[in-house]
Structure 1
Amino acid sequence: MMARYAIAVGTFYRDLADRLIDSARGAFEEAGAEGVDVFEVPGAYELPMVAKYAAESGRYAGVACLGAVIRGETTHYDYVCGESARGIMDVQLATGVPCAFGVLTVENLDQALARSGGGKRDQGAHAAEAVLALVALREQLS
């Protein structure tokens, strides 16, 4: 699939972000992507905005949105998770550019590590694969 893709990533947890980026980039490259650009933002809450910028630029076939939100002692987790997911969905529906939700929403660091950087629960790779699947379906149906 010769196309260019974007990765939008919240870097609040830098080590997790790097693992997610590596696996998403690997999935895009394995599928034959022409190129992959990475755009970093402070956290998951900012992902919808950068996804919108990338989608509206016309340069990308799709955007994989990555990051991690780990539950703490307050309700902040609920707001960040829900609003980032809704915002990313809104971007793809408004623009027609596939945007995948590859944000880890977990209880602790062990769960985050198990879902990043390899293995069958790798959210970075799954987000890229979701974008690729939607791009293929869009081409098939157009």
Structure 2
Amino acid sequence: MSGKQDAGPRIALLVARFNSMITGHLERAARERLLREGIAEDRIESFHVPGAWDLPQAAQWILSEGRHDALIAIGCVIRGETAHFDYVAGHASDGLGRVALHKDTPIVFGVLTADNAEQALARALPSGANKGAEFAESALSLVALRDAVWELDEP
């Protein structure tokens, strides 16, 4: 699939609901940046999963349909008193990496990992350094790079 359509590439926003106060801000910022970059609203599709653990499997399902030019996986894992943080963050990172290597569709790793809620909020609130816009920029850059590489093969 090429991102050269007049309305722009099709972008999937895959968002974990856990820590939704944070992931909601990230999703909104990503969507707003995509719109500012000229991507039509109907080219941006949101999907939601319970938590960050579920992101890799859902990403695989979504990308298997072949309808999207990029996927932004958004989640937030905050360290607690047990090793659960390490398992969830590691699974999300490793799983999304494996899916990315087996698909020709760029996947942006938009999972915040923080020691506490304050750190996560500082990276998600509109008044702070909201990373959602950066995730959107990364997706568009990767689509452009992939398309440029693919064009090298054309006669």
CA drift of 1:117 comes to 3.4
What's the Cα RMSD here?
1.4
CA contact (8 A) 1:92 1:98 kept: yes
1:71 and 2:87 equivalent? no
CA distance in 1, matches of 2:128, 2:144: 22
1:93 and 2:101 equivalent? yes
Alignment of 1:12-91 (within 5 A): 12-34=18-40, 35-91=43-99
CA distance in 2, matches of 1:12, 1:109: 13
Q: Which runs of 5+ in 1 are unaligned?
A: none
> Partner letter of residue 124 of structure 1?
G
Q: Can you list the C-alpha shifts for 1:12-67, whole angstroms capped at 9, x where unaligned? A: 11211210110111122122223211110010010011111121111110000001
TM-score normalised over the length of structure 2: 0.86
1:140 to 136, 148, 151: 148
Percent identity over the alignment is 39
Query: What does residue 13 of structure 2 align with?
Result: 7
CA contact (8 A) 1:47 1:88 kept: yes
CA distance in 1, matches of 2:88, 2:102: 21
Query: What does residue 116 of structure 1 align with?
Result: 124
Runs of 4+ deviating beyond 6 Å: none
TM-score normalised over the length of structure 1: 0.93
CA distance in 1, matches of 2:122, 2:39: 26
CA contact (8 A) 1:23 1:117 kept: no
User: How many pairs are equivalent?
Assistant: 142
CA distance in 2, matches of 1:29, 1:117: 19
Q: Which runs of 5+ in 2 are unaligned?
A: 151-155
> Partner letter of residue 19 of structure 1?
H
CA contact (8 A) 1:102 1:126 kept: no
Greater CA radius of gyration, 1 or 2? 2
